[in-house]
Structure 1
Amino acid sequence: MVLTINSEHWLAQGRHVPSPYYDVREDEQDISLLVIHNISLPPGQFGGPYIEQLFTGTLDPAEHPYFAEIHQLRVSAHCLIRRDGEVVQFVPFHARAWHAGRSEFDGREKCNDFSIGIELEGTDTLPYTSAQYDTLTALTRALQTAYPKISRTRITGHEFIAPGRKTDPGLAFDWRRYKTALND
Structure 2
Amino acid sequence: MSLDWLADATRRPCTFYDDRPEQEEISLLVIHNISLPAGQFGTPYVDALFSGSLDCNAHPSFADLEGVRVSAHCFIRRDGQVLQYVPFNKRAWHAGVSSFAGRERCNDFSIGIELEGTDNEPYHEAQYRQLAAITKQLMAAYPAISKQRIVGHCDIAPGRKTDPGNAFQWSQFFNQLEQ
Tell whether the structures are fold-level matches, with TM greater than 0.5. yes
C-alpha distance 30-40 of structure 1, shift in aligned 2 (>3 A): same
Aligned to 1:9: 4
Deviations 1:30-55 (A, max 9, x none): 10000000000000000121001101
> How big is the shift at 1:67?
1.3
CA distance in 2 between counterparts of 1:28 and 1:89 reads: 23
Deviation string, structure 1 residues 120-149 (Cα, Å, up to 9, x no partner) = 000000000000000000000011111111
- Tell me whether 68-77 or 85-94 shows the greater mean CA deviation: 68-77
Cα distance in 1 for partners of 2:61, 2:4 equals: 33
Aligned to 2:146: 151
Q: Displacement of 1:71 after TM fit?
A: 3.1
Contact 1:96 1:113 in 2 (8 A): yes
Would you say 1:98 and 2:93 are equivalent positions?
yes
TM-score by length of 1: 0.94
So what's the TM-score if we normalise by structure 2?
0.97
Check the 8 A contact 1:28/1:94 in 2, yes or no.
no
Q: Can you give the 5+ residue segments of structure 1 that lack an aligned partner in the other structure?
A: none
In structure 1, what is the Cα distance between the partners aligned to 2:124 and 2:171?
15
Number of residue pairs matched by the alignment? 179
1:26 alignment counterpart: 21
Q: CA deviation at 1:27?
A: 3.4
Two-structure CA RMSD over aligned residues (Å): 1.3
Identity %: 60
